Structure formats: C-alpha cells, structure tokens
Amino acid sequence: MRKCRVAAVAAVLALMFSAAGCRYQQSKSAWQEVLNRCGAGEALAGGVFFGPSDQVGPGALWRRTDTGGYNLRWTLLEARGAGGAALPLQAGTESACKEGSFTLERMFPSLLLTTPLLPLNDDLEADLDKVDKVTVRVQGWAVDRLAEGAYGGMLAALPADAVLRKDFGREAIMAQVSGLRVKGFAVSLEFAPADAAALKQKRKDLSIRRGNRGASFIAKWVKPTVLELAAERDVYVFGRLSLVTAFSPQLKLDAPAVINVFAPEYEDPRLPAAGEK
C-alpha cells in the first residue's frame, strides 16, 4: 500500500511539473511575440527567459542545482545589500517599440504577467483570463549589460565573512551579464460587461505586488469594461548567464552560456533565501 501511495504522489508531481513546464513555454512564447512586434527579435537569440521582473537583471546571481538546473540565488537588491549602491550597469541604447500599441489574438493575459520565479495564484490567473480582448502597450526596449570590472571590484570589497562572498567558494555561481529591459509596459484587458462587473465585485484591488522578487503591476479600470495593468518600473524578461570561474583576486567569467534556466523538463523554481545552501 505504501508503494502505491508513493507511486501516486510521484505521478501527481510529474503531472504538476509537466503542466508548469507547459505554462513556462507558453509565457515565453507570449513575450517573444510581444518583443518581435517591438522589433527586439534579434536581441532574443540565446536569451534565457525568466518572466517580467525588476529585480532579476544584470548583476543578479544564479546557482546550479543538484539536478542540473539553475535557480535564482541573489536578486539585484540582495546582491547589493540593503542601502547599498546600485549595481554597475552599462545601459543599452533605448529603441522605440515599432508597434507602440497592438492587439494580441487568442492570448491569455496572465502569460505576460506571471513569472516562473513567483507565479500568480491560479484563481487570479483564471479571473484575468476571462477576457475578450488583450491590448499591449510598450514604450521601448534596450539590452543592458553588466559592467564586469566594476562589478568584480564591488564583490572583492565585500567583507571576508559576507555570505555573498562565501557563496563563490562553495557553489557554482552564475552571474547574469545582460538583460533585455522593457520600458513602459502595460496590458489592457477588455471584458464582457457581466464578467467585468463580477470581477469588480470579487476583487477591489487587482494590482499585482511582488516585492523584490518580480515585477509589480498597478491596476486601474480605464473604462467600465477595460482593466489596465501597468508595470510599476521597467522590467527585464530575457538575459544571459555566465559561470563565475574565478572570484579572487579578479572576477573572471566564462563566455555567456545559452541556458534554459529551468531546464527543458522544467524545474521547480524555488527561491533559496539569501545565504541558504
């Protein structure tokens, strides 16, 4: 009987990961369509998709897992420390989106709002996806890069007992060296009158607030049946990682790796607290 229960649990977990992997690929495809419409298609070559976030960009740190995947280790805020200076970046030249506003056919809007790092809850996704029309607005985009020399100097200046510094001696750490930044992103959801009324009754505030783990979106009803969710800040959605091959006395990185962070089968993107193994 115990073996049956174990087998049943394993089957359920396999199904969950399969569904999560499908969702990840759908979200990635949705963002690829948006960025292709903006003229950013070439910038996506070899990019790692991690969903919209304003705290996972150049300078964020990832780690290899025992199963061969990659999990987020330190966000931008955690890497620089509370009250620390901003991480050294080389801001890319901003390009205007070729289509500043466009409609996406047969699109679930939650695919553009969720991130594998901190997914939306299923109930909210279901509410948002009862939509008749999805319109996307993007002001522009750029590829920002990590200023590796200054970044290495910042890391070398850390106290010897700093948890972040110790991480480099015990784990295979990946530094994010670039990120595709999206400026002025917003998505408008047009509902049938009855669905809009039901949603207003059910949820007084539809804003999505993720703290320091992902992008936050401010919600407002711009028309009786049209809900707009606008990114609070610029967001990163794609990037490249490089293995930190040496830390002291000078930071050294491998050539940027073309990696699917969550592996082809998808790995549960749990977020270890800063300093955990």
Whether 210 contacts 52, CB under 8 Å? no
Whether residue 237 lies inside any domain: the answer is yes
> Whats the size of the chain, residue-wise?
277
Q: Which domain holds residue 63?
A: 2-253
Can you give the pTM of this predicted structure?
A: 0.81
Whether residue 259 lies inside any domain: the answer is no
Tens of each residue's pLDDT in the chain, 277 residues: 433 433 333 333 233 334 456 777 888 889 999 999 999 987 776 667 888 998 889 998 888 777 666 678 888 888 776 456 778 889 999 999 999 999 998 889 999 998 877 778 899 999 999 999 999 999 999 999 999 888 888 887 878 788 887 787 666 788 889 999 999 999 999 999 999 999 999 999 999 987 666 789 999 999 999 999 999 999 999 888 888 877 667 777 776 544 444 433 333 334 443 344 4
Whether residue 261 lies inside any domain: the answer is no
∠ CA 148-158-90, nearest 5°, is: 25
Please count the structural domains in the chain. Answer: 1
Q: How far apart are CA 109 and CA 30, in angstroms?
A: 9
Whether residue 126 lies inside any domain: the answer is yes
The pLDDT score that the predictor gives to residue 117 is 74
Q: How many CA atoms, within 13 angstroms, populate the side-chain half-sphere of residue 241?
A: 25
Q: Which residue has the tokens 């000078």?
A: 250
The pLDDT score that the predictor gives to residue 5 is 39
Whether residue 133 lies inside any domain: the answer is yes
Whether residue 270 lies inside any domain: the answer is no
Whether residue 264 lies inside any domain: the answer is no
Encoding tokens for residue 136? 């996307």
Whether residue 156 lies inside any domain: the answer is yes
